[in-house]
Structures are given as C-alpha cells and as structure tokens.
C-alpha cells in the first residue's frame, strides 16, 4: 500500500483560480516536502515542514502557501493561480532532515 | 554553478548491455539518493546511499563522499529500464537534484 499519496492526480484551473493540492503519508515521518518539477529546472523545493503546525520556506515559495494540519497531512495552496505555476508537483516525506525521502505519485497542474 | 551534475545526459543501449551513470557534486553533503522516473512522471527511490556500495538486483550504486561522486551501474539492461535516472544530494533539509540521465533500452 502506497505510503505517500497525493490528490488530485490531475487538475486544470484558470488564471486567478484557487487550488489546493493534498498529500498524506502513512510512514509516521516527521518531515514533509512539496517540490515542483519543470523542464529545464529539475525539481525544486517549495515548502517543507517538520511537524504539525510547522512550516518552512523552500527555494521557490512565491505564490504558494502550505499548511501541515497533522503529522500525516500536508497541503499546498495556490490562491491566485498563474500560468507559471503549471507544473508537476511532488510531495515527499522523511523521518528526519537527512534521511531517505519517499515521494508521492505527483499531481499534474495546468493553469490556463 | 550547478551543485549536482549528471552524465551522460542521454544513453541508448541494446537490451542486455551494461550502463554506468555518473553523478558529481560540488559540495559536501549528508546523504544522496538515486531515483528512477517513469515516462509520465512518478519518482521511485532506487538507492539511498550516504556512502559505500549498495546492490539491488541488477543495480549497483557506489558513493565516494570524499571524491564527491556517485555512480549507478545497470547490468544486463532490459527494455523496462528505460526512463530517466536522477541523483539528488541532501545538504541538511532538502534534496538538490541533478538534471538526469535519460536511458533508452532498445530490443
């Protein structure tokens, strides 16, 4: 059974729309991460968290909010989506900040 | 400059041939991982290898921290090995990824 799940798997929205991407992990891990993957840039860290209620800023945070409601659940919020946020989004979890990271299946977001 | 460099950028093999993928990093690190990405997107962790040599089936990873390099050896390649292989280094909280090696295994 998959330990990191993401929903939705695909999402299409319009410029200015509201989008919430969800991630759940059943690894009992402390750390959770949101990355985006773009051609020419590879994977880049948006936000991460080391526990419920905690949020840390990553390398490309502009235009994104995130919230860690429980140890299991980490959400990425795009409140005014723009076409530049069209991307493949991955969630990951790890036991600590240098341990192996386990990735979800990804969410493909298209902003028209 | 790029902290993680992978080579080659792309590789075409005949089924049954071996492959050696390289990952070089320009900074000290805590650990590193190799990933396989299927066409269509999902990322699968192949090795978590802070140092030394690890083997899993036909795949072998060797990481030499002091030389700032890691390699992924694929023996007796199969068509299903086709995809992109990414290495990533962990310097404390995040993974920094290379741009990947695209592997195509022809029958």
Q: What is the pLDDT of residues B62-81, one digit of tens each?
A: 999 889 999 999 999 999 99
| CB environment A29-44: b (16+ within 10 A), e (fewer) | bbbbbbbbbeeeebbb
* Facing A98 at nearest CB: one of B30, B45, B98: B30
Per-residue tokens: A1: 């059974």
CB contact under 8 A, A45 and B94: yes
CB contact under 8 A, A48 and B90: no
What's the pLDDT at B91? 81
CB contact under 8 A, A31 and B93: yes
What's the pLDDT at B50? 81
- Classified as helix, coil or strand, A9 is coil
- Would the CA dihedral through A2, B54, B15, B22 be positive or negative? positive
Q: Which three-class secondary structure string do you get for B13-37?
A: EECCCCEEEEEEECCCCCEEEEEEE
pLDDT digits (tens, 9 = 90+) for B16-32: 999 999 999 988 777 88
CA atoms within 13 A on the CB side of A3: 14
Instruction: Kindly tell me if the per-residue pLDDT of A2 is higher than 70.
Output: no
Average pLDDT, chain A: 94
Q: Measured between beta carbons, which residues in chain B are less than 8 angstroms from residue A58?
A: 94
- Provide the 10 A C-beta neighbour count for residue B30: 15
Per-residue tokens: A24: 């759940």
CA angle A77, B43, B83 (to 5 degrees): 135
What's the pLDDT at B30? 76
Q: Measured between beta carbons, which residues in chain B are less than 8 angstroms from residue A48?
A: 93-94
Enumerate the β-bridge partners of residue A74: A23, A68
Read off the DSSP letter of residue B102: E
CA A18, chain centre distance (Å): 15
């Amino acid at each position: 059974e998959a330990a990191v799940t993401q929903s939705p798997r695909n999402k299409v929205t319009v410029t200015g729309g509201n989008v919430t991407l969800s991630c759940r992990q059943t690894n009992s891990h402390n750390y959770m991460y949101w990355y985006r993957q773009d051609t020419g840039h590879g994977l880049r860290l948006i936000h991460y968290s080391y526990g419920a209620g905690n949020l840390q800023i990553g390398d490309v945070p502009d235009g994104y909010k995130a919230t860690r409601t429980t140890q299991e659940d980490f959400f990425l919020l795009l409140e005014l989506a723009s076409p530049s946020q069209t991307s493949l989004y991955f969630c990951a979890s790890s036991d600590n900040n240098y341990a192996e990271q386990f990735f979800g299946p990804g969410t493909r977001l298209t902003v028209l | 400059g790029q902290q993680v460099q992978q080579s080659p950028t792309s590789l075409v093999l005949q089924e049954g041939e071996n492959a050696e993928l390289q990952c070089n990093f320009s900074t000290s690190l805590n650990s590193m991982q190799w990933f396989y990405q299927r066409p269509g997107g999902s990322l699968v962790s192949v090795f978590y290898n802070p140092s030394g040599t690890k083997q899993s089936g036909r795949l072998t990873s060797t990481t030499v921290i002091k030389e700032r390099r890691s390699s992924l050896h694929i023996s007796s390649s199969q068509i299903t090995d086709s995809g992109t292989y990414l290495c990533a280094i962990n310097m404390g909280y995040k993974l920094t990824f290379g741009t990947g090696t695209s592997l195509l295994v022809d029958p």
